[in-house]
Amino acid sequence: MGLQQKTVFITGASRGIGRAIALKLAAEGANIVIAAKSVTEDPRLGGTIYTVAEEVEQAGGKGLAVQLDIRQEEQVAAAVEQAVSKFGGIDVLINNASAIQLSGTQQTEAKRFDLMHAINVRGTFLMTQHCIPHLKKSSNAHILTLSPPVNLHSKWLAPHVAYTITKYNMSMMALAWAAEFKADKIASNTLWPRTTIATAAVKNLLGGEDLIQRSRSTDIVADAAYYIVSKENLQYTGNNFIDEEVLQAEGVSDFDKYAINPDAGLFPDLFL
């Protein structure tokens, strides 16, 4: 069936992984809703909803830039209606927007705890809730949430419990939606990278340029996302996918092309 003329709504799409997925799916002929807060460029982060919309058009898709704070339900509802008014429906929702702080219990301020829960959990829930009526009308509907496999071993929980539980909540919701909406033929999966990914967040918050050199490009996540949302008839649903495994299943064996520096040792993602 392909993605030609399919409408993909991507949160947090002004930069990083969200932008990469937008451009990959646009190259396949999809309509892309670029939803994010960024309307003016931050030199540390780069990109706005408008610059990505232009890139989407250049890549071969149709773009709609929508300023959106997914913490605000009225904005979520308005953004969904704007997308449907422009493109006639929604076929794929990609829950990519997320807030991060890798701190221990005593170092996590209440306002940061609340922010991560408001965006990662509540925002993802509201975004999906408002898209469901339109996804039900699609001939090949997908929800793809960028969150890790759930592993309750203390080594994953102890270092940054506030952040970890928000990401696990995202994954549990995605698995719930696979079951809840199976009869409506809406596929729901999660996707997470095997290694760190070269994004502004990794550079600014996690490890600087040294970690960037040991990371893979956003293209690996975008390519994996493409294969997942291209599947039909619930062939893929209820899975916690890892990008590398998705690509291996598609016959991809050359992963050096995704490495920022093929000579540097890759750094595993913090949840893997």
Beta-bridged to residue 198, according to DSSP, are: none
Q: Is 205 helix (H, G, I), strand (E, B) or coil?
A: helix
Output the CA angle 62-37-219, nearest 5 degrees.
55
Task: Give the pLDDT score at 45.
Answer: 67
Lowest mean pLDDT among 44-58, 68-82, 84-98, 232-246: 44-58
> In whole angstroms, what is the distance from residue 51 CA to residue 208 CA?
25
Question: Is residue 198's pLDDT more than 80?
Answer: yes
Tens digits of residue pLDDT in 8-38: 999 999 999 999 999 999 999 999 999 999 8
Q: What are the residue ranges spanned by the domains of the chain?
A: 7-196+218-257
Lowest mean pLDDT among 49-63, 160-174, 195-209: 195-209
Question: Is residue 98's pLDDT more than 90?
Answer: yes
Confidence (pTM): 0.96
Confidence of residue 176 (pLDDT cuts 50, 70, 90): very high
115: left (phi over 0), alpha (psi -120 to 50) or beta: alpha
Amino acid code (one letter) for 178: A
Question: Is residue 204's pLDDT more than 90?
Answer: no
Place of tokens 């953004």: 79
Could you tell me which of 172, 168, 218, 177 has the C-alpha nearest to residue 195? 218
Note if 163 is an active site residue. yes
Catalytic residue among 163, 168, 236, 258: 163
Question: Is residue 62's pLDDT more than 80?
Answer: yes
Tens digits of residue pLDDT in 32-42: 999 999 877 77
Provide the token pair at 54. 């232009």
Provide the token pair at 27. 């190259």
Task: Give the pLDDT score at 38.
Answer: 81
Q: What percent of the chain has pLDDT over 70?
A: 98
Residues written for the chain: 272
Task: Give the pLDDT score at 40.
Answer: 74
Q: Does CATH number 1.10.3210.10 belong to domain 7-196+218-257?
A: no
Q: What is the largest CA-CA distance in the chain?
A: 51
User: Across residues 46-59, what is the average pLDDT?
Assistant: 93
Full strand arrangement of the beta sheet holding 31-36:
62-67, 31-36, 7-11, 92-95, 141-146, 186-192, 240-242
Task: Give the pLDDT score at 1.
Answer: 58
In Å, what is the CA distance from 47 to each residue of 40, 59, 212, 235?
Answer: 8, 16, 18, 34
Q: Helical H runs in the chain?
A: 16-26, 49-59, 73-87, 110-116, 124-135, 154-157, 161-180, 200-201, 208-213, 219-230, 243-249
